[in-house]
Amino acid sequence: MIKDKFDAIVVGAGPSGNAAAYTMAKQGLKVLQLERGEYPGSKNVQGAILYADALEKIIPDFREDAPLERHVIEQRLWTMDDTSYVGMHYRSDDFNEENPNRYTIIRAQFDKWFSGKVREAGVVLLCETTVTELLRDPQGRVIGVRTDREGGTAFADIVILGEGVNGLVGQRSGLRPELKPDTVALAVKEMHFLPREVIESRFNLTGNEGVVIEAMGTITDGMTGTGFIYTNQESISIGIGCIVSDFAESGRTPYGLLEAFKRHPSVRPLLEGSECKEYAAHLIPEGGYNAMPQLFGDGWIVVGDAGQFVNAVHREGSNLAMTTGRIAGETVVWLKRRREVASEANLAEYQRRLEATFVMKDLRKYRRIPDFLHRNKQIFGTYPRLLTAAAQTWFRVDGVDKRAKEKQIFQAFRNGRSLPGLIGDAFKLARSWR
């Protein structure tokens, strides 16, 4: 299909693949990018939040024409039970800054835009092309890819795998292990459309201001997981996700869980009268640092979700994807300039460079959290119930004196989780968080 040899082949046109391809092409490298969807973004799903910093380091003036929805001025964290939530809301006019820090985006549109920049930089993009396997030389070095196109092989000095969480090429080539049901989450999401004035009045917004809500509690029915609600210009993204093994054991359906979340008395009024125009589902790699595979080898590098680059605690992923893509691209450019080959030894530079960034620092910091959350389901059931009950006891005025109320709340916590349980949980959380 492609006769010429490339400096690099990038598998996938999501944020990580685009970041890698763009970085290399801007430095004059000859890059081929392969995407299995009809257009970049057609197979991709995200909440979605765009973190400006990671993209700014690649395309500093992205705000001029990127399809951004709303810049986030308010973050809500809801701990929910069946009828109520206890919320921590942070809203600041400081986020109405000249160069906002976070935006909501619509992923398919964003990926299309990013891909346009990548092609402008000179990358050859082939869509509707699925990579079926890696090609190796007799020494085992990766030298190219085979695709499902007629005669579809292509060769390069290095292959960058930005093929996403469900990346079969790397797994089937033995570069990384199969995903495990207890470290991967399944999230489902709907896009609900409403006139922008309605969204602005319901969320107390003006202009392009936006609100994001992250929610946990009984909405996941005892499973490890969270829900989210993001405001776009004329739509609301709503979704919920839980660990796959929890879903398998619970017997719950993902869309049943989403339906219950939508019907929660605190959520329903936000969506009232909206029209759902898309239903999507996607896996999220939530295993963190301990689930990270080998990141490079002779002739290959892995970036983005395929490399488990997701910070589940802070709901960050696309920024890790873009950063790993950029660093991978920079590493390849650096090797090229030094006229060195893409051997495993030389590509260790990729990991060295990553170690200096927030990506590895954050993932290492939270390396114990996925396991903690998986083993301590009370975080998602018992505590939300105790917290909301305490709030209700405290706020309901019913002739009971305040000291008695305090006692009642304290007793409820002791009955609900026992004193050693409470202390143990606090200790375990602190140790995992450290």
Q: Which residues bind other proteins (CB under 8 A)?
A: 36-38, 41-46, 48, 106-109, 111, 127-130, 147-149, 165-166, 168, 178-181, 184, 186, 188, 190-191, 221, 235, 237, 244, 247-257, 259-260, 263, 276-283
Q: How many CB atoms lie within 10 A of CB 425?
A: 17
Comparison of 74 and 190: residue with beta carbon closer to other proteins: 190
Comparison of 237 and 331: residue with beta carbon closer to other proteins: 237
Contacts of 3 (CB under 8 A, 6+ apart): none
Q: How many CB atoms lie within 10 A of CB 64?
A: 7
Q: In whole angstroms, how close is the CB of 272 to other proteins at the nearest point?
A: 17
Give the SS3 label for residue 135.
strand
Check if the beta carbon of residue 325 is closer than 8 Å to that of residue 18. Answer: yes
Q: In whole angstroms, how close is the CB of 361 to other proteins at the nearest point?
A: 28
Q: In whole angstroms, how close is the CB of 348 to other proteins at the nearest point?
A: 30
Q: What does 296-307 look like in DSSP terms, one character per residue?
A: EETTEEE-GGGG
Q: How many CB atoms lie within 10 A of CB 430?
A: 9
Comparison of 199 and 327: residue with beta carbon closer to other proteins: 199
Q: In whole angstroms, how close is the CB of 65 to other proteins at the nearest point?
A: 19
Comparison of 83 and 418: residue with beta carbon closer to other proteins: 83
Distance CA 55, CA 49 (A): 12
Q: In whole angstroms, how close is the CB of 187 to other proteins at the nearest point?
A: 9
Amino acid at 88: M
Q: In whole angstroms, how close is the CB of 78 to other proteins at the nearest point?
A: 18
Q: In whole angstroms, how close is the CB of 245 to other proteins at the nearest point?
A: 8
Distance CA 261, CA 239 (A): 8
Check if the beta carbon of residue 102 is closer than 8 Å to that of residue 72. Answer: yes
Q: In whole angstroms, how close is the CB of 184 to other proteins at the nearest point?
A: 6
Distance CA 168, CA 148 (A): 14
Contacts of 319 (CB under 8 A, 6+ apart): 51, 53, 54, 55
Comparison of 60 and 177: residue with beta carbon closer to other proteins: 177
Comparison of 105 and 158: residue with beta carbon closer to other proteins: 105
- Beta strand 68-80 with 142-147 is unpaired
- Beta strand 300-302 with 296-297 is antiparallel
Please give the torsion angle defined by the CA atoms of residues 389, 391, 392 and 396, in that order, rounded to the nearest 10 degrees: 150
Q: In whole angstroms, how close is the CB of 250 to other proteins at the nearest point?
A: 8
Comparison of 302 and 360: residue with beta carbon closer to other proteins: 302
Comparison of 108 and 354: residue with beta carbon closer to other proteins: 108
Instruction: List the one residue out of 185, 265, 198, 257 whose CA is nearest residue 225.
Output: 185
In DSSP terms, 191 is beta-bridged to 237, 278
Comparison of 115 and 432: residue with beta carbon closer to other proteins: 115
